[in-house]
Structure 1
Amino acid sequence: MAVQNWIRINQNIRVARLDSDDDWYASSVQDINEREFCISVPLKESRPLVLSKGEQVKVSFIADMTRYEFITKTRGRRYDNIPLFVLAMPKEYTRVQLRDFVRVPITLEVDYARIPIGGKEPVFLKADSIDLSGGGIRLLINNDLAAETRIIIKFTIPLKTGPQEIEVVGRVVRIWADERTRLRQAAIQFVKINRKQEDLITRFLFNIMSEQRRLR
């Protein structure tokens, strides 16, 4: 499938010069057609990335739990209420499935409960996360959970647009003693999660990784 099927107006993207060491700037798509697309001036901490006609750049964005990256050429500038750069639509791109490969260390307050039977209300317990991905979470818990146990998991992710509540169902894949504490670690796979929740988690992790790269 051509990459233009995934590039949409208002799509958040990252842009970097081809010769830079992954020095990414934030931008968004403002207009698009079959041959090219227009983006807002890329910014990094209010510092603009000024591109010249003919200059090659790297572009990266996330859509449908996949990170797309490609190299393209700057075709010029345009002004449509705001200044824009015009980029050529790429013919080739790479894609990486984020659900399976991106796992970010992060501490979040988590509520979890075994799925009740007989119409009873779930009894939630507190835990802290150790890491998170689009497909699962690792928890530090103070009680035992058997492998294959289904649990309800609730946590909040702090996005720039505001906090987002996530509630999913997970399956305990593995549980083992934590060497540094008397607690236990539980690896959980999400088994009931919708597309919006996947996208929110992926965006959150993507923001963390971008900030970590910026601080290196």
Structure 2
Amino acid sequence: MLYKDKIYEGLSVQIVVPEGEYQGRYKTRVEEVGQKIITIGVPVAGGQFIPLREGTQLEVVFVDDLSAYSFSTVLIKRLSVPIPTFIIEFPEKISKVQRRKYVRVQVVSPLQYRIVERNGLGIEQKGFMHDLSGGGLLFHARECIPEKTPVLVEPVIGDTPMQIPAIVVRCMKEEKDSYLVSAEFYEISEKTRDKIITYVFELQREMRKKGLV
């Protein structure tokens, strides 16, 4: 199977529970890889283990230096010793999205931003994110921000508020007192970029399910 060698012990993954009482995204890691099964740690949220039932359908998402991957699986068995783990089915198919292309998806949500000035950060301004990718974002603002202006954007990625340095590459007037600002992320950590790419990938997957892309 393509990409099966991408799954290995110690790999950080996110499991997505699409519905039910524990619907959401949870971080964990691969503990062991077999021919037909994968053992992962039971994820923790709010200091508590997530008690998913056997038979729960899951989506597993992970990334490497070039791509994001996902596969569908099912929780086969729960174990409590020597450590709490889930045993899931080894996938029949793993899907891949190229990270180099920085897939862009529409995301409409409020954000804050500040212009980086010589003597520090400017006044916090409010705007709306229009779309997002691993390389940058497009957002609505009430002012035209000149090209090459450094800004600190503060979007919410998933459930996590972030502060991300960026450089404005384009500003387009939409209507009176409304502008579309395109900004590229600047000097961000791979951990932060991975989180953004994983979030974008999950949004794209949900849109495909709904027939929107």
TM class by smaller structure = 0.5 to 0.7
SS at match of 2:149: strand
Give the number of aligned pairs: 194
User: 1:186 maps to what in 2?
Assistant: 181
Higher Rg of the two aligned structures: 1
1:1-216 matched pairs, under 5 angstroms: 2-5=3-6, 8-15=10-17, 24=23, 26-27=25-26, 28-35=28-35, 36-40=37-41, 48-52=51-55, 57-64=57-64, 66-72=67-73, 74-97=75-98, 99-113=102-116, 124=122, 126-131=124-129, 132-133=131-132, 134-146=134-146, 149-157=147-155, 164-168=162-166, 170-177=167-174, 179=175, 182-190=177-185, 192-202=187-197
How much does 1:110 deviate? 0.3
- Asked if structure 1 preserves the Cα contact closer than 8 Å seen for 2:31 and 2:39, the reply is yes
Question: Given the two structures, how large is their TM-score scaled by the length of structure 2?
Answer: 0.63
**What letter matches 2:13 in structure 1?**
Q
State the identity %. Answer: 18
The whole-number CA distance in structure 1 between the counterparts of 2:120 and 2:24 is 44
- Asked if structure 1 preserves the Cα contact closer than 8 Å seen for 2:16 and 2:25, the reply is yes
Residue deviations 1:169-200, cap 9 Å, x none?
Answer: x24234113x3x52322222336544233124
**What letter matches 1:190 in structure 2?**
F
CA RMSD across the alignment: 4.4
Gaps of 5+ in 1: 115-119
The whole-number CA distance in structure 1 between the counterparts of 2:108 and 2:170 is 18
SS at match of 1:51: coil
How much does 1:154 deviate? 0.9
Over 3 Å counting, the alpha-carbon distance change for 1:145 and 1:26 in structure 2 is: closer
**What letter matches 1:173 in structure 2?**
R
The whole-number CA distance in structure 1 between the counterparts of 2:124 and 2:88 is 48
